[in-house]
Amino acid sequence: MSQLSLSWLGLGPEVAFPWKTLLLLGASWILARILIQIYAAYRNYRHLHGFPQPPKRNWLMGHVGMVTPTEQGLKELTRLVGTYPQGFLMWIGPMVPVITLCHSDIVRSILNASAAVALKDVIFYSILKPWLGDGLLVSAGDKWSRHRRMLTPAFHFNILKPYVKIFNDSTNIMHAKWQRLISDGSARLDMFEHVSLMTLDSLQKCVFSFDSNCQEKSSEYIAAILELSALVAKRHQQPLMFMDLLYNLTPDGMRFRKACNVVHEFTDAVIRERHRTLPDQGLDDFLKSKAKSKTLDFIDVLLLSKDEDGKELSDEDIRAEADTFMFEGHDTTASGLSWILYNLARHPEYQERCRQEVQELLRGREPEEIEWDDLAQLPFLTMCIKESLRLHPPVTVISRCCTQDILLPDGRTIPKGIICLISIFGIHHNPSVWPDPEVYDPFRFDPENIKDSSPLAFIPFSAGPRNCIGQTFAMSEMKVALALTLLRFRLLPDDKEPRRQPELILRAEGGLWLRVEPLSAGAH
């Protein structure tokens, strides 16, 4: 047998041995990598075998298309939760496993894991990065931890208290528009359209101290945010468009970049202007000096924030967090409030009880405004809000991809690197967590009834280290807007039942339409 010759490379026998060694080492390395991958696949399969899975469509598609972002898809998810109440395994094609968890007892391990271990799934969140940068929603690791610590003071009640005045004002503007639209005693309105503009109006005032009057006239900045939200929701349903190179060549990609530029230019201009006007003093002194004359907005707090080493946020970081707050704050609150109005329209007995609670609270008060201290004096209205957030959670699912194995309370293991979906909708609609889960019953949240429940049975704002930092802000805004709405209007269901549409947030196909009737002056 002829020996290996490297003469064609101009190398003689004296150098052939090192080349043989290198080739052997290379082949050994490749073989080792293959064996490691085989072992990892076997190990994952062994762990995944403990999770039940519904029948696949076929071997190639796996479970793709079984749970669609439609009313029918939510009904299918509800069926799966009833069949597999602890959770289940589904496959994207033949190779990509996805675990869905839908029970409060099971999600504890992953929700309570540190942010460094339970990372957000980068596949989806990466498409938000051109818009939101490294804000809290998208960032991870040390940067996320540092920003979370620095932003926490921005949601202290001393900061939030003056915002209640803004919530009142923005709600009043929306109601004035409703009054103008009423003819023949009522108006048929899309709650999402009106409430989204109201939340954007109040957010722009709370974040930037800027009044664009967006509820009354068009605003380029507000239009850009609405377009970005719609484009992200659309892209989320098109896996091929997750590739930036391909997406950037499409008309949607071009519109996305243009809208990003509009939003970034607005935020940058506010930051530059604030740098010139914000006094060079500490947060406490600034709060004291401005308490009577100015609401401390989100940009102010970000500019004044310092970490434990005395370092400030960069302008790029400030822009990312401001843009993130505008994105997260308007859609989720609009969804939550719209579905609350819908549920009370369908249950006039609860609507009337809430109305009486508000009327009693504000009796003899002029003007009729909700104040910060009032928010704790509306127990039944709060129960109605929470039950609606259970039945119609604005965010239906969150995703995680862990950097290490996660041991579940029942002994099963989620292997590292596996995409895990925490189905908020599934937990909230799980009959083994909530009896009769499809029934709207505010008394579930009576303090006596809820005291023995798992804190993870109700997670509209997620839970654990990466829970929603703005949940007190959102709940306060919803309470103010709902209280004033019930004080002035009667809500009636539309003739056509809405079909739920879970996109980035829970919407309704074609809008969520209700009829509103003004209450006579003597009625309250």
Q: Give the separation between CA 363 and CA 352, rounded to whole angstroms.
A: 16
Listed in order, strand segments (DSSP E) in 50-132 are 87-92, 96-101, 118-120
SS3 of residue 466 by DSSP: coil
For the record, the structure tokens of 289 come out as: 């000096």
Q: Give the separation between CA 66 and CA 75, rounded to whole angstroms.
A: 11
> What is the distance of C-alpha 96 from the center of its chain?
24
For the record, the structure tokens of 457 come out as: 């049975």
For the record, the structure tokens of 141 come out as: 């690791």
SS3 of residue 439 by DSSP: coil
328 marked as binding residue: yes
Q: What crossing angle do the helices spanning 315-346 and 251-277 adopt, rounded to 10°?
A: 110
Listed in order, strand segments (DSSP E) in 257-324 are none
DSSP string, 325-351: HHHHHHHHHHHHHHHHHHHHHH-HHHH
468 marked as binding residue: yes
185 φ, ψ (degrees, to nearest 5)? 90, -10
SS3 of residue 200 by DSSP: helix
Q: Which residues are annotated as a binding site?
A: 328, 468
Annotated binding site for heme: 328, 468
